Amino acid sequence: MRINQKVHYGLVCLHELGQNYGGYMSAEQVAQRRQMPGAYTQKILQRLAAAGLVESLKGAGYRLLLPLSDITAYRLVKALSDDGPLEHPASFGINFQFERRVENALKSFSLAELSV
């Protein structure tokens, strides 16, 4: 599991959509409001839609499917991390213990608890 730039942008996108909960925003609107690259914002939102965190509607944009209080940091990281969490659960030892604790920590708080 790795927290990368995609996760950072994903957090920003979800918080922006959360400001308009229930309403749609285009990727361009999110990108402009948060000064992010437009094409990259579009890709992030598409991955969040594939993970079931946002919904896309052609011509309308994207909307948050759950309140930020119902989305854990773990779920965001899992949706956008390239290498995925706990790739080798059969391998025990210090690395497994470390990853399990990080996973539990990320599951312990929602995105509503973070300010962007």
* pLDDT at position 74: 94
Write the DSSP string, 18-57. HHTTTS-B-HHHHHHHHT--HHHHHHHHHHHHHTTSEEEE
* pLDDT at position 86: 47
Domain 5-113 annotated CATH 3.50.50.60: no
Give the span between the Cα atoms of 55 and 94, in whole angstroms.
38
Q: Is 63 helix (H, G, I), strand (E, B) or coil?
A: strand
pLDDT (tens digit per residue) in 23-40: 999 999 999 999 999 999
pLDDT (tens digit per residue) in 40-97: 999 999 999 999 999 999 999 999 999 999 999 999 999 998 755 445 555 567 777 8
Mean pLDDT of 93-112: 88
